[in-house]
Amino acid sequence: MAVKRDYYEVLGVGRQASPDDLKRAFRKIAMDSHPDRNPDNAVAATRFKEASEAYAVLSDPGRRRSYDMFGHVAVESGGPAVDFSDMPFADIFDTFFGGGGRGAGARRQRSNRGDDLRYDMTITFEEAFVGVEKQIDVPRLTTCERCSGAGAEPGSGEETCPGCRGSGQIRRTAQSIFGSVVTAATCPTCGGAGRLLRNPCLQCRGQGRLERTRRLAVRIPPGVDSGSQIRLSGEGEAGIRGGPSGDLYVVLRVKAHAQLARHDHDVIYELRVNIVQAALGDRIEIPTLDGAVEIAIPAGTQNGQSFRMAGRGMPDVRGGRRGDQYVVVQVVVPKDLSAEQKALLRKVGGLTGKPEKVSKGFFEKLRNAISLD
Ligand SMILES: [Zn+2]
Ligand SMILES: [Zn+2]
């Protein structure tokens, strides 16, 4: 028997190669030398066998460790040799590169699971604040009650699939230079079910599922925001032939509040005051999520200045600290003043200091504050 080549050498990678490097190297060799692509080419066939054996060992962390320490001896006795050359080309790539090495069994189970569903729901800002329970009507595929999802007319039964004798898989045994290899593929006659219906159920026509609208209660916790998703486990489409149901995702959109804006857990309120309120200070009632609250703005409040009201923001969905409310002051400078108002303002300006300069400075200051906004 010929001396075996080093597995790393076979794949053309270094000993430090990552799983991805190995996958890439094997994929490249497989592309070039797979028997499906090289009929009657003995050299290619040998190369493919060699590479698939090397990949089978090195892609398994445990076997790779043994091989690294003890060489070929360690892995030869550690389980049946693997050969992929009997597997159709497409299956190899599905197995190795499709979903991280899922076997046929995992694939079949996965396809039995019902689909996930999405339900879009709009709620008000206030509902997002306090939380709410909503009833929703969800049209979805549910298990047929006439046949309990089996798809067979009651009493008619099923027969074992003659193609696979009930296993759902077609197994093939092939001899290779590394020993006998068994490969399995989904039975084409029954699609992997292992059974065939004698009489399909009259209600679901053998599908085992029916579209029904079901009313569900959805509990929305306080603090949700637009884009928040609530997963209702098992409330998606029913599985096929008794497979597990999918999930239902309720995707939320929260309507804007008339007066409060939201920023993460905080809410922002823009408070408009006139120049007298800003200059002298005032007590003003403002809206919060908890209702109207009176706050005192100090004398000399500037345009764009903000005040924080701790703990007046949105609740945290995960039960953490509540956000804050920020009151941002906008000083509204009056336009279209009457002659009397103008005279009064001039008088106010005159009282703040030296008449001719400070009078200008008062409005100058106001202008400067606005430009900061
Ligand atoms: Zn049915
Ligand atoms: Zn079958």
The closest ligand to the CA of 188 turns out to be 2
Distance of CA 27 to the CA centre of its chain: 30
Is the pLDDT at 303 greater than 80? The verdict is: yes
pLDDT (0 to 100) of residue 358: 41
Is the pLDDT at 363 greater than 60? The verdict is: no
On whether the pTM is more than 0.75, the answer is no
How many angstroms is it from 310 CA to the middle of ligand 2?
67
Is the pLDDT at 69 greater than 70? The verdict is: yes
Is the pLDDT at 260 greater than 70? The verdict is: yes
**Percent of the chain clearing pLDDT 70 (strictly above):** 82
How many angstroms is it from 198 CA to the middle of ligand 2?
14
Lowest mean pLDDT among 99-103, 210-214, 224-228, 364-368: 99-103
φ/ψ of 242, rounded to 5, equals 80, 10
Q: Encoding tokens for residue 176?
A: 């290779």
Instruction: Place 104 in a pLDDT band, splitting at 50, 70 and 90.
Output: very low
Average pLDDT score over the chain:
80
pLDDT (0 to 100) of residue 356: 44
| Amino acid (one-letter) located at 344 | L
311 compared with 359, residue with greater pLDDT = 311
pLDDT (0 to 100) of residue 352: 60
How many angstroms is it from 345 CA to the middle of ligand 2?
94
How many angstroms is it from 116 CA to the middle of ligand 2?
28
pLDDT in tens, 21-37: 998 898 888 888 877 77
pLDDT in tens, 198-222: 888 899 888 889 998 989 999 999 9
Of 22-26, 86-90, 96-100, 291-295, give the range with the top mean pLDDT. Answer: 291-295
Q: Give the torsion through C-alpha atoms of 98, 104, 86, 37, to 10 deg.
A: -30
Is the pLDDT at 84 greater than 90? The verdict is: no
Is the pLDDT at 137 greater than 70? The verdict is: yes
pLDDT (0 to 100) of residue 94: 40
The closest ligand to the CA of 191 turns out to be 2
The closest ligand to the CA of 143 turns out to be 1
Lowest mean pLDDT among 178-182, 222-226, 308-312, 348-352: 348-352
Cα separation, 282 vs 302, whole angstroms:
13
pLDDT (0 to 100) of residue 200: 86
Is the pLDDT at 238 greater than 50? The verdict is: yes
How many angstroms is it from 241 CA to the middle of ligand 2?
14
The closest ligand to the CA of 204 turns out to be 1
The closest ligand to the CA of 144 turns out to be 1
pLDDT (0 to 100) of residue 182: 77
How many angstroms is it from 236 CA to the middle of ligand 2?
28
**Percent of the chain clearing pLDDT 90 (strictly above):** 35
pLDDT in tens, 339-351: 998 888 888 777 6
Mean pLDDT of 320-335: 91
How many angstroms is it from 196 CA to the middle of ligand 2?
8
How many angstroms is it from 210 CA to the middle of ligand 1?
8
How many angstroms is it from 37 CA to the middle of ligand 2?
29
Lowest mean pLDDT among 95-109, 110-124, 126-140, 180-194: 95-109
pLDDT (0 to 100) of residue 74: 64
How many angstroms is it from 39 CA to the middle of ligand 2?
29
Instruction: Place 277 in a pLDDT band, splitting at 50, 70 and 90.
Output: very high
